[in-house]
Chain A
Amino acid sequence: MIRDITIGQYYQTKSVMHRLDPRVKLLGTLLFVIAIFTYKNPVGYVLGIIFLCTVIKLSHVPIKFITKGLKGILMILLLTVLINLFLTPGTALVSFWKLTITYEGVAVALTMILRLTMLIMGSSIVTLTTTPNNLTDGLEKGLGFMKIFRVPVGDVAMMMSIALRFIPILLEETDRIMKAQLARGADFESGNLVKKARALVPVLVPLFVSAFRRAGDLAMAMEARCYRGGDGRTKMKPLIYKKRDVIAYIVLFAFMVISIWMGRWSVITDFFNSLYTDLILK
């Protein structure tokens, strides 16, 4: 049951997106998120959606996998929509009891749905096409400039990759301990929430003890193999930009500039605003 959890889920297939340098993908996500939060008119969003669809198409990942990620944020999405719907002041659309839905509220709610959906889909495309290892490498190299500010980027990246490596081992261990406790008559299924939570204590305590023991062993093994922090290490698989990465950067920046410019261009924004007033507020 626990094994269903997939972290940093990766969809194995061959595509341009998979081969792209992780740094391009990480910067791309950041720029894309900035872009979609700066749009002021529908043209920007249309451009954003076209960009997103092209990337999805290029990644060869089935759309089903990408929308899966949306399920997780359904509650947040709903909450944002409800709050925006009822709490935005403006012209009333419908009102009942003490609650009023405004035209502006509907507009804001729709924008929020659009932005959050695009955000989640855009970032899951990156995790789906990049192995966790590649991702940490990308973060390490991409954030390398932080070393000037004495941020131990290499060490943090090492911690991330070790954490990822130990997730399956710890899950297996949890399974084993739960089975051992079940064999001793433990009951994890019945009772209310508090009772269920308390039933987990005999699982968590040995799990933590063993995790700490593992950490100690691992640290010793790493020291024995001369690990002494990120400085002075060489890489077995260094990240090197290829031609496709340069092209991707150019496309990315072009999209950024054009979509933000169009999405915020006052002529277009004014046109849509007047259209909106004409259609609805009449």
Chain B
Amino acid sequence: MEIRVEKIRKEFDLYPALHDVSLKIESGELIALLGPSGSGKTTLLRLIAGLEQPTQGRIFFGNEDASYRSVQERNVGFVFQHYALFRHMSVLDNVAFGLKVRPKGQRPPKAEIRRRALELLEMVQLNGLEKRFPSQLSGGQRQRVALARAMAIEPKVLLLDEPFGALDAKVRKELRRWLRDFHDRTGHTTVFVTHDQEEALELADRVVVMSQGKIEQVGSSDDVYDRPNSPFVFSFIGESASLPVKVEGGVVHFHGAPTGLTAQRDGEARLFFRPQDVSLIEEGPGMTGPVTSSRRLAGTRIAEIELGSPEKPCHVEVEVPLEASASNGSILSFRPTRWKLFY
């Protein structure tokens, strides 16, 4: 099921949570809504589900305008951050709930409901636990019950709110891989919210980076990492350094000195680059400063270099080869090899 969000605006007590957001989600896609807290990613997910009412704008499921559809009618599978399992029901009853509450005519017979619930439990690898109560399950197991319960209604789309947020690191990694497999097997259109960029980049076909109620960039993991289109995306995803620069006559100057980088357009700008995208240089234009600290990081070394004037210093981190001398106080010169200017 393809989903189109058109110019959605959402205000909570006049405080805008989303500003005219538009997004198209392809059928069968696994997509991540990524952003810091308060970026509006959960609000967008809840709007798609019908748990919130948009202040303005429309939401299409396929060609159908679903904006005024209630959550019951939208037929979405929603997995909540804290699972929201019904704690007075057994695991089996939790999974079967969506089928049991169907109106008489559409409700499968009892035996059929049970069969399908057990089948779903098998799919999420929880066979044998159907008689347990949620309080008797581990966090990862609860998460999978929540997923099986959402799948029971044969949803058109699967929505997950911080699906791994409440789990410890090891379980989180396992479930992440498991969810990817699950998606590949079932082929549901799946949207999940996360604030963990590693999770988003690893898992999703496309990542929607959000900030302050707006979509900053939509693209594949490679797109948002290698070709960030805004200062926010550049600094939010991965490690990065930024410096205030001035472009004069096509040459990028930092602190009044040429850096050896060239640009099309003149003017004040910010230069962004990643620590690993630099090369140390012996001579020629570049950026030079004393090392203020350094630390070993796996196979490389990260050095913090102080640039600019002593009164207004800028600190940047760059990756240096292990053999390079980077003791505190030694002077290093470098030039970014991949970089981007934002005017």
Are the chains A and B members of one assembly?
no
